[in-house]
Amino acid sequence: MSEINYVIEATDLTKQFGDFKAVNAISFNVKKGEIFGFLGANGAGKTTAMKMLIGISNPTSGAANVAGFDVFTQAESIKKNIGYMSQKFALYDDLTVKENITFFGGIYGLSRATLKQKINALIEELGLHDIADNLVGALPLGWKQKLAFSVALLHNPKIVFLDEPTGGVDPITRRQFWEMIYKAAHEGTTIFVTTHYMDEAEYCDRVSIMVNGKIEALDTPKKLKEQFKVTSMNNVFLKLARG
Partner 1 sequence: MSISVNHISKSYKSIQALQDISFNVNEGELFGLIGPDGAGKTTLFRILTTLLIADTGQASVAGYDVIKDYKAIRNCVGYMPGKFSLYQDLTVEENLEFFATIFKTTIEANYHLIKDIYVQIEPFKNRRAGKLSGGMKQKLALCCALIHKPKVLFLDEPTTGVDPVSRKEFWDMLKRLQQKGITILVSTPYMDEAALCDRVAFIQNGELLEIGTPKNIVKEYSKKLYNVKSDNMYQLIDSLNTFKYTYSAYPFGEFVHYTDTRDEFDIKELHSYLKDKGLHNITIEITNPTIEDTFMALAK
**Pick 81 or 87: Cβ nearer partner 1:** 87
Question: CA neighbours within 13 Å on the CB side: how many for 109?
Answer: 6
Using CB under 8 A, list all residues that contact partner 1: 40-44, 87, 140-142, 164, 167-173, 175, 178-179, 182-183, 185-186, 196-199, 202-203, 221-222, 232-234, 237-238, 241-242
Instruction: For partner 1, give the closer residue by CB, 36 or 108.
Output: 36
- How far, CA to CA in Å, does 181 sit from each of 94, 115, 185, 202? 26, 22, 6, 13
Between 76 and 170, whose beta carbon lies closer to partner 1? 170
Residue (12 or 187) nearer to partner 1, CB: 187
CA quadruple 72, 184, 224, 3: dihedral sign:
negative
- The minimum distance between CB 79 and partner 1, in angstroms, equals 25
Q: Which residues of 188-204 are buried (b: 16+ CB within 10 A; e: fewer)?
A: ebbbbbbbebbebbbbb
Task: Name the phi and psi angles at 215, rounded to 5.
Answer: -85, 110
The least distance separating partner 1 from the CB of residue 129, rounded to whole angstroms, comes to 20
Min dist CB 237 to partner 1, Å, is 5
Shortest Cβ distance from residue 10 to partner 1 (Å)?
22
Phi/psi for 6 (5° steps) reads: -105, 135
d(CA 25, CA 10) in angstroms, rounded, equals 9
Residue whose CB is less far from partner 1, 83 or 221: 221
Closest distance of CB 189 from partner 1, Å: 13
Alpha-helix runs per DSSP H in 139-241:
141-152, 171-186, 198-202, 221-227, 233-240
* Residue number with CB closer to partner 1 (81 or 145): 145
Cβ 97 to partner 1 shortest distance, Å? 17
Contact present, 59 and 15 (Cβ < 8 Å): yes
